[in-house]
Structure 1
Amino acid sequence: MTAPRLRPFAQVDVFSAEAYRGNPLAVVLDAEGLDAAVMQQFANWTNLAETTFLLPPTDPGADYRVRIFTGSEEFPFAGHPTLGSAHAWLEAGGIPARDGIVVQECAAGLVRVKRDGGRLAFAAPPLTRSGPVAAPDLARIAAGLGLPQEALLDASWLVNGPEWIGVLLESAAQVLAIRPDYAALAGLKVGVIGPHPAGSDVGFEVRTFIPGDAAAEDPVTGSFNAGAAQWLIGTGRAPGSYLAAQGTVLGRAGRVNIEASDGDIWVGGQSVSCIEGFVLL
């Protein structure tokens, strides 16, 4: 095991142009020599939704490699850690091999991140599971959301790392009114999306619920927004470009920009560095 040393560290607020209104991410910018157990312990200690660890790439097509940990498990891919890691890597002096495109290597493969003005956006990875949700799970989800089952206009598996189930409701107001019963949702990761009225500044409202030992609502969720965009644009329920809000009921102001372009769906947002320094690992 490598002896602990000071390593450059950043804490980034993702999907918000205003500090402390998005979803925070801890980034260890030099994780060479750390084993998975140390990474997991540190991620548990930060007590954030995710912590990432940047490493030299093993794929010659990548600019860097990332490992993504929640407080209890490692993810092959996640959205806000992708944007936050790319933001921190660029701010630390990282220079991508391709102008305007950062290529991140993660357990799910290579993910492209483009610079779009003041935003970064990642190309949504392919879904590894999609399609109908079984009737017993739909009944549990409806109970967990406190809604009659007919209020669930549609539902689909949206797995691209985290095992999300997406649920479409009739309106953003319905989404904002949910008071989840995490016991009823146990074992399921559920994301809910509903449209704002025509003419609103924001197209959709999103909320994501993660039952478990520390049941929580995620402030802003890139992976779910990526899967939801693939699902809703693909079925004609959403336009090819829209803005989603998330975190509203938590006092956040998350904004997720969705754009379908040349066969890709890009999921983007602004990020702000809030803490910079070193950690002993």
Structure 2
Amino acid sequence: MIKPGDARLRYDVVDVFTDRPYAGNPLAVVHGADRLDTAQLQRIAQEFNLSETAFPMRPTQDGADYRLRIFTPRAELPFAGHPSVGSAWVLARDGAIGIGEAVQECGAGLLPISVDQAGATLTGGPARLGAELDAAELAAAAGLDVSDVDGAGAPGIAGCGIEFAYLLVRPDAVSRAMVEAAAAKRAGVPHGLVVVSYDSESNAAHARMFAPNLGVREDPATGSAALGLGVWLADRGLVGDGDTRYVVSQGAEIGRPSTLDCTVTVEDYTVTRATVRGGVVPVASGTLATPST
């Protein structure tokens, strides 16, 4: 393994799901870390202390253009949206991959991603649906009353590479949510709880995502949750067959307004594809010391 002083690692910090700096979701992208072990990668993620830090690496599977490992300050994730979008854009900017179509290898499999000059569009993994959850218990975990719940869609678990719990609430309730970690765990929340309102006429969602057990009290923009939202909306009958575009607004409550442009494709009541697109803006770059083993 690399020892301290052997080399310094280059990094970039970018803001994702925004068109301007200091909005969206900040991401650290650390280059050249293929030879580091998991503990070293985790220490780097702890040092940045962002919702996620991403490590692009050489691919290990046929058909992939690169491999991406993703860490929160506490744990490695198999997949996440804003690290995927941000890392692909950085790699294309640097010429490691081309503008256009690429394939990312990660814990959720081989995922298509399309990079443009301003950002990237990520296609999620296979759609998955989990159990329905108790509305009153989830609302209480989010610091809300059961009267805040919107009965148009029963709460439950869905995902497109990583799973979240979704709680549909009235529009005025989203900004009042504040999730307590132990209560969320008791209520059956997996990686995170998404508190969301949804307007079926405009296909506009206002969401907040809380994952305190992963060291993420509240995420400014969660691409993987936006993908899973499409799966959940389709299962609850809130979008129909064909291609539906919906826009997720997130992060304003914590001063990081974000916009996630999404599509979900439904055929015979089954989700066959979900995508999320976001802009990427560079903020900082530099080098960092390699952690000891």
Q: Same fold judged by TM-score > 0.5?
A: yes
Choose 148-157 or 12-21, whichever is displaced more.
Answer: 148-157
> Are the counterparts in 2 of residues 182 and 215 from structure 1 also a CA contact under 8 Å?
no
Q: Which deviations, in whole Å up to 9, do the C-alpha atoms of 1:134-182 show, x marking residues without a partner?
A: 44xx44312122333352522121244544111112x332212324344
Structure 1 residues 19 and 238: alpha-carbon distance in aligned structure 2, compared to 1, 3 A threshold: farther
Find the partner of 1:55 among 37, 50, 57.
Answer: 57
Structure 2 residue 280 is the aligned partner of structure 1 residue 276:
no
Identity percentage of aligned residues: 34
Instruction: Report the counterpart of residue 125 of structure 2 in structure 1.
Output: 125
User: Unaligned 5+ residue runs, structure 1?
Assistant: none
Equivalent residue pairs, number = 273
**CA separation in 2, counterparts of 1:264 and 1:181?**
33
> Are the counterparts in 2 of residues 77 and 160 from structure 1 also a CA contact under 8 Å?
no
**CA separation in 2, counterparts of 1:161 and 1:230?**
11
Find the partner of 1:140 among 130, 137, 140.
Answer: 137
| 1:86-235 pair list within 5 angstroms | 86-96=88-98, 100-115=100-115, 118-128=118-128, 130-135=129-134, 138-149=135-146, 151-153=149-151, 154-169=154-169, 171-186=170-185, 188=189, 189-196=192-199, 203-212=204-213, 214=215, 216-235=217-236
Structure 1 residues 109 and 198: alpha-carbon distance in aligned structure 2, compared to 1, 3 A threshold: closer
Find the partner of 2:262 among 251, 258, 265.
Answer: 258
Q: Which deviations, in whole Å up to 9, do the C-alpha atoms of 1:17-75 show, x marking residues without a partner?
A: 11111111111121121111100111111111111111110112111101111111111
**CA separation in 1, counterparts of 2:28 and 2:130?**
33
Choose 270-279 or 65-74, whichever is displaced more.
Answer: 270-279
- Return the letter of the residue paired with 1:146: G
Structure 1 residues 56 and 63: alpha-carbon distance in aligned structure 2, compared to 1, 3 A threshold: same
**CA separation in 2, counterparts of 1:213 and 1:119?**
26
> Are the counterparts in 2 of residues 120 and 269 from structure 1 also a CA contact under 8 Å?
yes
- Return the letter of the residue paired with 1:185: A
| 1:61-80 pair list within 5 angstroms | 61-80=63-82
User: Unaligned 5+ residue runs, structure 2?
Assistant: 267-271
The alpha-carbon deviation at position 185 of structure 1 amounts to 2.2
**CA separation in 1, counterparts of 2:233 and 2:163?**
17
TM-score after normalising by structure 2? 0.85
State the secondary structure of the residue aligned to 1:185: helix
- Return the letter of the residue paired with 1:120: A
> Are the counterparts in 1 of residues 51 and 216 from structure 2 also a CA contact under 8 Å?
no
